[in-house]
Amino acid sequence: MNPNENLIAKFYTAFANADAKTMSECYHPNVHFIDPAFGLLKEEQVSKMWKMLLLKSKGDIKIEFSNIKADEFSGSARWVATYKFSKTNRKVVNQVSAEFLFQDGLIIKHTDNFDVWKWSKQAFGITGYLLGWTGFFQNKVREQALLSLKKFQEAQ
């Protein structure tokens, strides 16, 4: 494996071990993170998000990763998170496709993509099935995720 593939593996190994500190060390100080649940997060927000999600999982999260590929500038991986969604206590198996950009030997941009409707059906049941595909519902999920992150940051 090349250095950037090792960096991605280090990140997901730390994630699987609920080690938010090591995950954070894989990121460049100016990192940008994008995913369907939170939208765009920058710099310290990114590490705080992972820390919050790991704490909310209370150790009941399983992370599996595969298909790590990277060159000098960019990379990708597939990962699966299995956990109970904290708001509904429903089991979620989220399959994620991740893309990375690197700078100075660290991750400068991290983009996670997943099927929001599939996720919302698992996380919210019938409500997610009926509304999870709508922009309105997805915006509400994002608002709630960002509010949770803001409260977590203020409490730290």
Tell me the whole-structure pTM to 2 decimals.
Answer: 0.92
d(CA 113, CA 128): 18
Establish if 119 belongs to a structural domain: no
CATH number assigned to the domain comprising residue 44: 3.10.450.50
List the chain pLDDT tens, one digit each, 156 residues. Answer: 899 999 999 999 999 999 999 999 999 999 999 999 999 999 999 999 999 999 988 888 999 999 999 999 999 999 999 999 988 999 999 999 999 999 999 999 999 999 999 999 999 999 999 988 898 899 899 999 999 999 999 988
The H-assigned helical ranges of 58-134 are 116-124, 126-131
* Residue 110, domain extent: 3-114
Establish if 145 belongs to a structural domain: no
Torsion angles phi and psi, residue 88, rounded to 5: -120, -10
Establish if 149 belongs to a structural domain: no
Establish if 131 belongs to a structural domain: no
